[in-house]
Amino acid sequence: MTHHTGAVRVLIAPDSFTGTLSAGQAARAMAEGWARHAPDDALELCPLSDGGPGFVDVLAAALPGRVELVTVPGPLGDPAPAQVLLVPAGSAADGDHDGRPTAYVESAQACGLHLVPPELRDPGTTSTRGVGDLLLAARAAGARRIVVGLGGSSTNDGGAGLVAALLAALPGAGGDGLAARLAGGGEALRGVRADELAALVPLREAWADVELVVASDVDVPLLGFHGASAGFAEQKGATPEQAQRLEHALGDWAAAACDGAGVPRSLAREPGAGAAGGLGFGLLLLGARRMPGATAVADAVGLRRRVEGADVVVTGEGTFDWQSLRGKVVRAVAATGLEVGTPVVVVAGQVLVGRREALAIGVESAYAVADDPAAVRAALADPVGTLAARAERVARTWSRPA
């Protein structure tokens, strides 16, 4: 956008507002509201993602490349449409991997909670098999590096479904019965043994020439109080008793898989192993490395350069809370602003973080769209209008008068 004399340069870089607005929709609503107060300001829109729903859309809008449409099994086995974003070798986001492209895939397209009707949600049976098929599609398209966005899953299978899909495609691996069991969901993993998983050694070898990157929205381990089952299973439909059963089943899976693959059992304690119901563990088992999803997207879209060119940065998400202080988009944007000296403000559906905590991560001010139950209802009824109205009021503080 052309800069006007005296115009404030505003970078609008939000995450999605979960359940109501995509990151792109949120950015446009903020820009609409800001422009009402300060029509001469130079607004640059930079929607972001932390690896969860919207990961591929955000990157496809920002990067050179092409999107391949594929169909994979969803969490219940029904066909689900998904995308593989292929970015050419040598681009700024990709580097050069022997002249072959980097692929970006979004696990939520294959195992997302939004794919399961509320009455059918059962993390004991949902599977990540479709994510394995996404990896196979990316590799078949020629990718030498595959970045997998994690977040928003309906699953709690420790990535066993993904492993099942890759085993089924491995020549000579055999074990159709094992693949079926691994694809049967988290509760089916109870009692699995290392001697059943000997094929994990050739599977790791078969994928050794592909650089796998886990772009996860959380950094939790697979097991324990902060792990996949205890921390997240209930929001996917599990009862407290089922969450305990899933914890035991994932414990069996982690021990057997690590022993079968010949890797340390400590892999289950790695940050991000518990992301997306343990899908992070399944990818780490194949030799993947992890980086925060928000960082992966920020690097790909050149966020630092854009923040350096702005006078103020506006970011946001549905709820600015304790999770935001860890591996989320707001944290990544605030950290970048802190490094380069550009003020960062947050506009969120709700703000549950105190001013001191916000300042500690580099957020100058945080503004809520909704401060009470009635305002929350209004925001849900008209998310674009209420977000735009809040952004207009924020512009009165952070921009010059119109």
CATH number for the domain that contains residue 204: 3.90.1510.10
Lowest mean pLDDT among 234-248, 280-294, 365-379: 365-379
Angle (deg, nearest 10), helices 240-261 and 275-285: 10
Residue 209, domain extent: 55-294
Pick from 265, 294, 323: which residue ends a domain?
A: 294
pLDDT (0 to 100) of residue 174: 65
Q: What are the backbone angles phi and psi of residue 98, rounded to the nearest 5°?
A: 55, 35
Pick from 276, 294, 312: which residue ends a domain?
A: 294
Q: For residues 324 and 293, is the Cβ–Cβ distance under 8 A?
A: no
**Number of other CB atoms surrounding residue 91 within 10 Å:** 15
Half-sphere exposure of 273 (CA within 13 A, CB side): 23
Mean pLDDT, residues 120-135? 98
Q: Identify the band that residue 175 occupies on the pLDDT scale cut at 50, 70 and 90.
A: low
Q: For residues 367 and 390, is the Cβ–Cβ distance under 8 A?
A: yes
Q: Identify the band that residue 401 occupies on the pLDDT scale cut at 50, 70 and 90.
A: low
Identify whether residues 275 and 150 lie together within a single domain: yes
Residue in 171, 218, 177, 209 with CA at minimum distance from that of residue 196: 177
Residue in 77, 388, 146, 122 with CA at minimum distance from that of residue 289: 146
Pick from 248, 270, 294: which residue ends a domain?
A: 294
Identify whether residues 22 and 115 lie together within a single domain: no
Query: Could you tell me the sign of the dihedral formed by the alpha carbons of 142, 55, 246, 114, in that order?
Result: negative
Residue 1 falls inside a structural domain? no
pLDDT greater than 50 at residue 98: yes
pLDDT (0 to 100) of residue 322: 83
DSSP state of 223: S
pLDDT mean across residues, the chain: 92
**Number of other CB atoms surrounding residue 275 within 10 Å:** 33
The dihedral region occupied by 167, where left means phi > 0, alpha psi between -120 and 50, and beta the remainder, is alpha
Place of tokens 């019965």: 177
Overall number of domains in the chain: 2
pLDDT greater than 60 at residue 56: yes
**What is the reported pTM?**
0.90
Distance CA 402, CA 37 (A): 6
Residue in 55, 61, 151, 58 with CA at minimum distance from that of residue 105: 55
**Number of other CB atoms surrounding residue 226 within 10 Å:** 13
Between the CA atoms of 165, 171, 172 and 177, what dihedral angle is there, to the nearest 10 degrees? 20
**Number of other CB atoms surrounding residue 263 within 10 Å:** 17
Identify whether residues 281 and 323 lie together within a single domain: no
pLDDT greater than 80 at residue 397: yes
DSSP state of 20: T
pLDDT (0 to 100) of residue 375: 82
Higher pLDDT residue, 110 or 219? 110
Q: For residues 85 and 70, is the Cβ–Cβ distance under 8 A?
A: no
Identify whether residues 279 and 134 lie together within a single domain: yes
**Number of other CB atoms surrounding residue 56 within 10 Å:** 22
CA distances from 113 to 1, 134, 309, 392, 394 (A): 37, 17, 37, 33, 33
Model confidence pLDDT, tens digit, residues 313-324: 999 999 999 878
